[in-house]
Amino acid sequence: MLIGEQVTIRPLQKDDLELLYQWRSDQESMGGFMDTILVNEEKFLEGMEAVLGDKGRLDALIEDLEGNPIGILSYHEVAGSNVALEIGILIAEPSARGKGIGRECLELFVDHLFGTKPLMRVQFLTRVDNHGMRRSGEKAGFSLEGVLRKFALVQGEYRDFCMMAITRDDWKAMRSPEKSR
């Protein structure tokens, strides 16, 4: 379990999957930047149970300090690389957005990943117009690496996405004693 000032992050459990389905099926929970899913609940739960056993990924639940679930965080291996992971985050509870929770989760997760795995980079994709996520990433040390034009069909339109990443070297430099003076 990772513990921050506003959140705890713990591995997703089978008992959490129904809540995850509810979030993924509700546009307010998904926010304005991702589509909801339209899938049979039983099929979704079966698929997610299989995902929980995938050693190349981790799905985690974000809780506030009172233990209330507020979002999810995940990583998976990047195809073609043995030193990179791609992460994703969703603050599903609208009341928890805009409070620095996304930045805190990114910082906790990146510290954990670089501290426990032989990685060289952690990356994420977000829509170009998702300014909150981009700012959270920048505050957590991520840099914009490029724009993937017309990358995904979201809410009926082909959308551009940003690739943002932090390398182990960037992460070490951010945490060096000279930097904190």
Reference 125, options 98, 103, 152, 99; nearest CA is: 152
Residues 76-126 have pLDDT tens digits of 999 999 999 999 998 888 888 889 999 999 999 999 999 999 999 999 999
Q: CB–CB of 127/116 below 8 Å? A: no
Neighbours of 113 (CB within 10 A): 19
Instruction: Identify the bridge partners of residue 127 per DSSP, sorted by sequence position.
Output: 161
For the chain, what are the domain ranges?
A: 2-174
Question: Helix H segments across 38-100?
Answer: 41-52
- What is the reported pTM? 0.84
Is the model's pLDDT at 35 over the cut of 60? Answer: no
SS3 98: coil
Task: Give pLDDT, residue 181.
Answer: 39
Look at residues 7, 175, 1 and name the one whose alpha carbon lies nearest to residue 104. 7
What architecture is domain 2-174?
3-Layer(aba) Sandwich (3.40)
pLDDT in tens, 126-143: 999 989 899 999 999 999
